[in-house]
Amino acid sequence: MSDHGAMNGDGGGLVAVVTNIQGFSLHDGPGIRTVVFFKGCPLACRWCANPECMSKEPQVGFLRTLCADCGRCGGVCPHGAIRPGADVHRIDYALCQACGACADRCGHDALVRYGESMTVAEVWDAVRRDKLFYESSGGGVTVSGGEPLLRAKFVRELFTRCREDGVDTCVETCGFVNQEAFADVLPVTDHFLFDLKHLDARAHEEHTGWPNDWILANASLLVEYGADVLFRQPLVPGVNDSLENITATAEFLHRLGPGVIGLELMPYHRVGQAKYRALDMPYPMEGVDPDGDRAAEAARDAYQTLGVTCTISR
């Protein structure tokens, strides 16, 4: 389930497709952090806020609200993938090769290329510029996605450079990769943010595309190795917010032992909905409204009653 990174064309180094390098993040590990978002994820969670990170390959999205219908993009696509007309999605994905020519031509940012192939050196050059913020806040570099451990060897090389320069490292993972991927990064990773989406295998498969056996085994592995792990749970209405799942999750955390520091709840939101439209993808959570702070607080109280230290990500 992991290809651990890819060699570039001349064999000179590891290459990964990155959608974004986001500085000054406060919610992806301790302190002020720079987050590297990798493309590609083995799961297909219905509530995913980063649909542009699902596919491993670069993609071009169309933001209808920014389009001025100026026509500048019409003649530049070498593959004939630009559709004319104001009432259609601009891109024919059967023809699009995600070369980005249309995005380069657009003067209104209505066409955006999601994903750029980068070497470890290029990513390191980008993230080390924020080192002053890391040093002043106890922060560092977090890899996310998508699933960064699909590029485990790339992450290991990046984190080795971080360690050599005194930069804190963190992996944000869905846990659905083989154990070799975790073994690759364990020696150079300071923290793990590990999602526990649902404890019932059938429900997990229904809502993410795969059962959770690998995920639970990897969670146990990390705790056994003494890794610093913060378990997190996206709290999704009607999916995993039942008392039954909360109880099962609490029991699992207790079985992992006293080294587990607790659970962080991440309330469901619709922030990524516009990106589904940009990629001409149906939004799987249509009609499901966020429950807001009240539901998150009720779930937190339930976890704490069950003996789990629980916080809410704001």
C-alpha 85/C-alpha 104 separation (Å) is 20
Q: Strands, DSSP E only, in 162-211?
A: 168-173, 191-195
What pLDDT sits at residue 84? Answer: 84
Amino acid at 206: E
6-56+118-312 matches 59-114 in fold: no
What pLDDT sits at residue 148? Answer: 98
**162 vs 1, 29, 264, CA distance in Å?**
26, 15, 26
CATH class of the domain comprising 59-114 = alpha beta
Write out pLDDT tens, residues 60-97: 999 999 999 998 998 899 999 999 887 789 999 999 99
Residue owning tokens 């890391």? 134
C-alpha 235/C-alpha 125 separation (Å) is 35
Contact 226, 274 (CB under 8 A): no
Write out pLDDT tens, residues 9-29: 433 489 999 999 999 999 999
Query: Above 80 in pLDDT, residue 259?
Result: no
Please state which CATH number belongs to domain 6-56+118-312.
3.20.20.70
Average pLDDT value for the chain:
93
Residue owning tokens 């991927």? 181
Q: What is the mean pLDDT of residues 236-260?
A: 95
**293 vs 51, 134, 162, 289, 290, CA distance in Å?**
24, 30, 36, 12, 9
Contact 16, 6 (CB under 8 A): yes
Domain ranges, ordered by start, for the chain: 6-56+118-312, 59-114
Write out pLDDT tens, residues 158-200: 999 999 999 999 999 999 999 999 999 999 999 999 999 999 9
What pLDDT sits at residue 291? Answer: 76
Q: What is the mean pLDDT of residues 231-255?
A: 97
